[in-house]
Amino acid sequence: MSNKYAVIGLGNFGFHVARTLFEEGHDVIALDIEEDLVQKIRPYCSQAIIGDATQKEMLATLGLEDMDASIVSMGGNANAATLITLYLRELEVKKIIVKATNEDHGKILRKVGATSIIFPEKDIAVKVAMNLSAPDILDYLPMSGDYMIAEVAPMEEFVGKSLSELAMRSKYNVNVIGIKELVPENFVLVPGADFVIKDSDVLVLVGKRDDINRIKLIKK
């Protein structure tokens, strides 16, 4: 299903967000005050606009209240990002996703109306550290509190056993919400208790960080 998005600020982060959304088939309005950045994104969006997003009157002409979400990426300009977020909230934009410069900036953004905060550098750094610290965890998505969704390669002890035999929830306090089958390539959403794990499968787990990390410590 095609959605409508606005991307405000077309630095590296904003450019790639806009381009990816557009290539995924969505309607994307891209906005920046710099003409060269707008020209660069033009082939990869529905509409490219040169304009100053810190002017509320200009934002009001874009119909952002009808968008599924607006993404604000103002580089290191925290003041501009904060002001734009405030204006978007006043314009009753449904979902406001903002790139923050640091934790304190993130707190301010939430107070003025941001619905989601992104810390790209922090998120990438944590992801790299997680992959080094826990190589059996192939990928992960942090959630609120101590919870996370992680893709985990199966331990040797898991292979050839069904999910009911593994009893992941009762033994390890995690839930298997999906299985990525690599041979042949397939994804099984919420697999049944009789699903048998293969060595080429990847388990998609949800649970607390410590519980998921504990799985890789199972003794052979």
pLDDT tens-digit map of 16-68: 999 999 998 999 999 999 999 999 999 999 999 999 999 999 999 999 999 99
Co-location of 33 and 62 in the same domain: yes
Q: Which domain holds residue 102?
A: 4-118
CATH number of the domain where residue 110 is located: 3.40.50.720
Using DSSP, state whether 83 is helix, strand or coil: helix
Supply the pTM of this predicted model.
0.64
Cβ neighbourhood burial of 115 (10 Å; 0-12, 13-18, 19+): middle
Query: 155 pLDDT band (50/70/90 cuts)?
Result: confident
Q: Write out pLDDT tens, residues 192-209.
A: 999 999 988 989 888 888
State the Cα–Cα distance between residues 38 and 51, nearest whole angstrom. 10
Provide the number of structural domains found in the chain.
2
State the Cα–Cα distance between residues 62 and 39, nearest whole angstrom. 18
Contacts of 183 (CB under 8 A, 6+ apart): 198, 200
Domain end point (choices 88, 118, 148): 118
Co-location of 105 and 27 in the same domain: yes
